[in-house]
Structure 1
């Protein structure tokens, strides 16, 4: 009989699979309260404000007391990356394509609402119950298609990656192009897609970058706010959904 594999401690914590201990005094804390405090710090101060010491101070215990509930700061960040995620949107009567469009937009939007998640999404693979619920809902939407199970997972992964990359670019353009204090472009920053195109036009050598130079000089970045605009997100999203639809149509 195969031996059951022991779960990594952080996975066991997120799924409530840690063995219960009855000895000793009743714990003053629980993981949910610790993670909630850490998320509040990240929301107000960013990830730089999250440390075992700052979280301990927020919940009113000594720093070493946290290690009874979470093994390290990396484990805490992993749990935060899952706990800060909202519930996925309900599908209702939507077709698989319409639902995945809604699903991907919602994925991007919660990352923009909590931009500190953009860093954690690159550090921690999805393992927690909330992230898995998003994947489950995407696979459920694709259940009526002719895609096999592997293709469904890869389609959901591609859409998740697109939401992450678009949110990263949108946040970067907003954060570095505008100054929160002055309300205008930062010194040396870029204030939108049109200005980005002007910078590229100055630095690109047409001999080394012939295709990109031609695109820039055609005015592709003028007359719009670029990636902050919804049209750019929808364009890329439709490319992916068209690909999924084409793959499904090729299946018997």
Structure 2
């Protein structure tokens, strides 16, 4: 896509918007606007973010804000990119150690700004900061024998896992109202409830698992061990894929 065909929002986000030679100097910039929007979202949730609320915080009329940002959707895209810090550098780390750190940091970032979940859940990265994270994940996989498409799929899968785990932890932190009404305050309570609900004839595997103590001793809904378990499963799969590539076996035939 030619630069002049980029949407105005992306031109601004990437610093490619033509600088006007005449006219008054703009009072605001994207950094000021997105910082204000992120502060509102952190304090009030995404529902508190509107063109009016952001304009009020930066001290301009809402109509003036549209000179910089075309719509609230554009603002949300800018916010999702703005919260991303620089990713860690992969130099000196084995690919598996780096991607474990990379995934955990993404999960933790989302937990600090849980309002970003509905924005990024299904959206590919468009901003320079989020795409820098993708770049570093691809760099970490250099020399593994995976092709570029496989590397991108690995990064996408790990990002999806980070977002899913963050969503579960955020929901658990806010509590499940229906669960609380049923007297369920922890995963262990949930297991005891399932013992009463699951008919062993209709749900033989699940009933056996809960009666066997699958949830026993679990005080909270989520644990870091749970996150690491799922992450290791994914990284084990990547490791096996790399091994098959190294052996020359056809991945599609496995």
Same fold (TM over 0.5): yes
| Corresponding position of 2:170 | 171
Deviation per CA, 1:74-114, whole angstroms, max 9, x where unpaired?
A: 11001101101122123342100011111111111111111
Counting matched residue pairs gives 245
Greater shift in the superposed pair: 188-197 or 64-73: 188-197
Secondary structure in 1 aligned to 2:132?
helix
| Corresponding position of 2:222 | 228
Shift of 1:64: 0.6
Deviation per CA, 1:120-144, whole angstroms, max 9, x where unpaired?
A: 1125331101110111111000002
**Shift in CA distance, 24/46, structure 1 to aligned 2, threshold 3 Å:** same
Q: Distance in 1 between matches of 2:86 and 2:53?
A: 28
| Corresponding position of 2:119 | 120
Q: Distance in 1 between matches of 2:68 and 2:136?
A: 30
Q: Distance in 1 between matches of 2:36 and 2:76?
A: 12
| Corresponding position of 1:247 | 241
| Corresponding position of 2:160 | 161
**Shift in CA distance, 194/16, structure 1 to aligned 2, threshold 3 Å:** same
Shift of 1:227: 5.0
Q: Distance in 1 between matches of 2:201 and 2:49?
A: 48
Greater shift in the superposed pair: 46-55 or 209-218: 209-218
Secondary structure in 2 aligned to 1:154?
helix
| Corresponding position of 1:33 | 32
| Matches for 1:12-161 after TM superposition, within 5 Å | 12-122=11-121, 124-161=123-160
**How well do the aligned residues superpose, as a CA RMSD in angstroms?**
2.1
| Corresponding position of 2:251 | none
Q: Distance in 1 between matches of 2:54 and 2:111?
A: 23
Stretches of structure 1 lacking an aligned partner (at least 5 in a row): 179-184
Greater shift in the superposed pair: 15-24 or 44-53: 15-24
TM-score, normalised to structure 2's length? Answer: 0.89
**Shift in CA distance, 4/229, structure 1 to aligned 2, threshold 3 Å:** closer
Query: Residue 204 of structure 1: which of 198, 202, 205 is its match?
Result: 198
Deviation per CA, 1:39-81, whole angstroms, max 9, x where unpaired?
A: 0001111101101100000000000111000000011001101
Greater shift in the superposed pair: 229-238 or 196-205: 196-205
**Shift in CA distance, 15/208, structure 1 to aligned 2, threshold 3 Å:** farther
Shift of 1:197: 2.0
**Shift in CA distance, 201/123, structure 1 to aligned 2, threshold 3 Å:** same
2:7 is equivalent to residue 8 of structure 1: yes
| Corresponding position of 1:195 | 189
Q: Distance in 2 between matches of 1:77 and 1:60?
A: 20
Q: Distance in 2 between matches of 1:3 and 1:81?
A: 24
Q: Distance in 2 between matches of 1:139 and 1:111?
A: 21
Whether the 8 Å CA contact 2:121–2:163 is kept in 1: the answer is no
